[in-house]
Homo-oligomer: A and B are copies of this chain.
Amino acid sequence: TSSGVFLLQMGWGDLGAFGEPSKETPNLDQMAAEGMLFLDFYTASPLCSPSRAALLTGRLPVRNGFYTTNGHARNAYTPQDIVGGIPDSELLLPELLKKAGYTNKIIGKWHLGHRPQFHPLRHGFDEWFGSPNCHFGPYDGSERPNIPVYRDWDMAGRYYEDFKIDLKTGEANLTQLYLQEALDFISKQQASQQPFFLYWAIDATHAPVYASKQFLGTSQRGLYGDAVREIDDSVGKILKHLQELGISENTFVFFTSDNGAALISAPKQGGSNGPFLCGKQTTFEGGMREPAIAWWPGHIPAGGVSHQLGSVMDLFSTSLSLAGLQPPSDRQIDGIDLLPVILQGKLIDRPIFYYRGNELMAVRAGLYKAHYWTWSNSWEEHSKGIDFCPGQSVDGVTTHTQEEHTYLPLLFHLGRDPGEKYPLSFASEEYQQAVEHISGLVQQHKATLVPGQPQLNMCDQAVMNWAPPGCEKLGKCLKAPESDPKKCSWPH
């Protein structure tokens, strides 16, 4: 059985099936109607790179190294001056799937490091079309180079230069390129009758948001909605392609997101986290609860709904299971195999850990969520207009200083209070029972935790994408400045 993972940056509330009021995602809604909707599904970090590292390793960022120790409870990722990346010691899903004869392709943003040793084709992927970092820019090549777009080992050009993004109009045809890559790859695999793993990690809804001309202006929601519509349309075309090729019953497909909608980009480029608190960068539900849909015609009963606490890390274990493989036994794997949930409607008891950097901020068990630390961002950042919770403010919860609650965690019941507005009374029996249970889980978790070497501490202008492989052929090599490694600055 082949696997496909659509990994986007969208909020829980961005899909019609999840209550977005414009209801402009007919293909994703149809995917849900034909498959299974996960309502309690989480990413492993409120930021992109660590989530992606977690998805591909089945392990929390604090284990696989995708975190920083430069400051307490800070999110970090892989900008183009990052020195670190995915360690060789980590076993990635595609590396393992190779043993079962899979061909693996990543389309879109890799985000696990852009230096040669971190290249996705050195970590199990057979093919790549996409970029190592976010499509920020344009840059003029003196202070920093534009982000390269790779085809397999070599760069095929750079964003803004060879792959246009018009920041004024929001026009870029990148999603169409990424769609075509996916369709072609699937056709090729079907022809060769080889199982495959396709990781479609495109970034149209990540600021700067873009859409192709045919989608611009088509959404009630503005440019962000245009991008969502194009992604929705693309997902529909990919699923239809699987059906037309007659391989949909042999292909497990999962749709989810790497973090909550970035409310700092609202209203023009931000999405929706539905009824949840705050967004990207935070460990409130809006930052880490994600839309999620499993689709596998002929196997998953249509119209299914699951309240299984799920995680992007489960896609690691589930994809291995589909390939008849076992997860590695020499290390802690945080993902679980969701097939019993998806195929037999089982519910597996497991907690969700919410990290920011290497600090365990919160834990969910059942419907209870305990916050051990709270903060959104600092007063200093907030005063500059950086607001992860615009229009929302819950006293003592959306704090602007790091507040420790280790001895009396803030406890929420996410069924009665999905918006994390009403902490339970410390004196209540309900509080005491739930916190006792969760504290036990925390103790167990911390006792066995072996943190990985933090990869996101050091930054250096010299390591940026000055001269990626293949730049000579394109005449696109730039001269790197002298190495000057510094601690990266992670304000959030």
Contacts and interface: CB of A to CB of B under 8 A. Distances in A.
A240 B168 CA distance: 54
A59 interface: no
Interface in A401-439: 413-419, 421-422
Interface in A264-291: 266-268, 272, 274-275, 277
Q: Is the interface of A mostly helix, strand, loop or mixed?
A: loop
Contacts of A417: 266-267
A19 interface: yes
Given A267-B421, A267-B422, A22 B415 contact: yes
Contact of A221 (B277, B307, B415): B415
A390 B225 CA distance: 28
Interface stretch (A2-10, A62-70, A333-341, A391-399): A391-399
A413 B267 CA distance: 9
Interface in A240-283: 266-268, 272, 274-275, 277
A485 interface: no
B393 A221 contact: no
A272 to B, nearest CB: 6
B274 A275 contact: yes
A21 B220 CA distance: 24
B22 A421 contact: no
Nearest to A366: B220
Interface residues of A, number: 42
A23 interface: yes
Nearest to A305: B23
A19 B20 contact: yes
In the complex, which of the residues A18, A21, A221 has the most CB atoms of chain B within 10 Å of its own CB atom?
A21
Contacts of A13: 19, 274-275
Contact of A275 (B16, B275, B367, B393): B275
A236 to B, nearest CB: 16
Contacts of A212: none
Contacts of A392: 391-393
Given A268-B416, A422-B266, A19 B18 contact: yes
B19 A19 contact: yes
A416 B275 contact: no
A20 B392 CA distance: 19
A221 B23 contact: no
B275 A225 contact: no
A221 B277 CA distance: 17
A305 B20 CA distance: 13
A490 to B, nearest CB: 27
A39 interface: yes
A452 interface: no
Interface in A1-38: 12-13, 16, 18-23, 37
A222 interface: yes
Given A266-B421, A391-B392, A392-B392, A221 B416 contact: yes
Interface of A: 12-13, 16, 18-23, 37, 39-40, 219-222, 224-225, 266-268, 272, 274-275, 277, 305, 307, 367, 390-394, 413-419, 421-422
